[in-house]
Amino acid sequence: MKIGRKRKGKAEIPTSSMSDIAFLLIVFFMATTKFDVKEGIRIVLPQAADEGAEQTQTLTLTENEMTRLQITEDGRIAVNNDAPRNFESGELDALIQQKVRINQQMIFKVITDREAAYNDMIRVVDRLKAAKIEKISLSTN
């Protein structure tokens, strides 16, 4: 008579509750994670022109009507046709106030180099907003 060996069953980890545990972990992390909400720059944009309207009008502004603030890639600021230089916040505020004293309806055009840091442009726009300037034009080189 041949005696057969008893085969041992393989050890297995029960996976029936694995999906429940994964679901509970997802719910836990979603409920406890705090997401940072980034606020953008609040700017009121003008209405778009009608398609049928002709836009052949050009407007030329003088230095008494518009101040150009050009931000270079290294963060220096050129005012109108002056050479670029570093401005501290107080110096920038004084410049803005000086330009507003010349003309209450002064338009500030902020031109940012494509390689400039985003913070440099934000710093200038924040200084303009702090001075309650509403006529701001933003563009890049």
Residue 104 has a pLDDT of: 86
b/e sequence 85-119, b meaning 16+ C-beta within 10 Å: eebeeeebeebbeebbeeeeebbbbbbbbeebeee
Residue 5 has a pLDDT of: 74
| Topology of the domain covering 66-140 | Nucleotidyltransferase; domain 5 (3.30.420)
pTM beyond 0.75: the answer is no
- pLDDT tens string 82-116: 888 898 888 888 998 998 888 888 889 999 999 99
Q: For residue 26, give both structure tokens.
A: 């997802």
Residue 24 has a pLDDT of: 93
pLDDT bin (cut points 50, 70, 90) of residue 59 is low
- pLDDT tens string 10-58: 777 777 788 889 999 999 999 998 887 777 767 777 777 776 656 556 6
Indicate whether 66 pLDDT > 90: no
- Domain boundary assignment for the chain: 66-140
* 108 touches 70 (CB < 8 A): no
Q: What's the average model confidence in pLDDT over 59-75?
A: 83
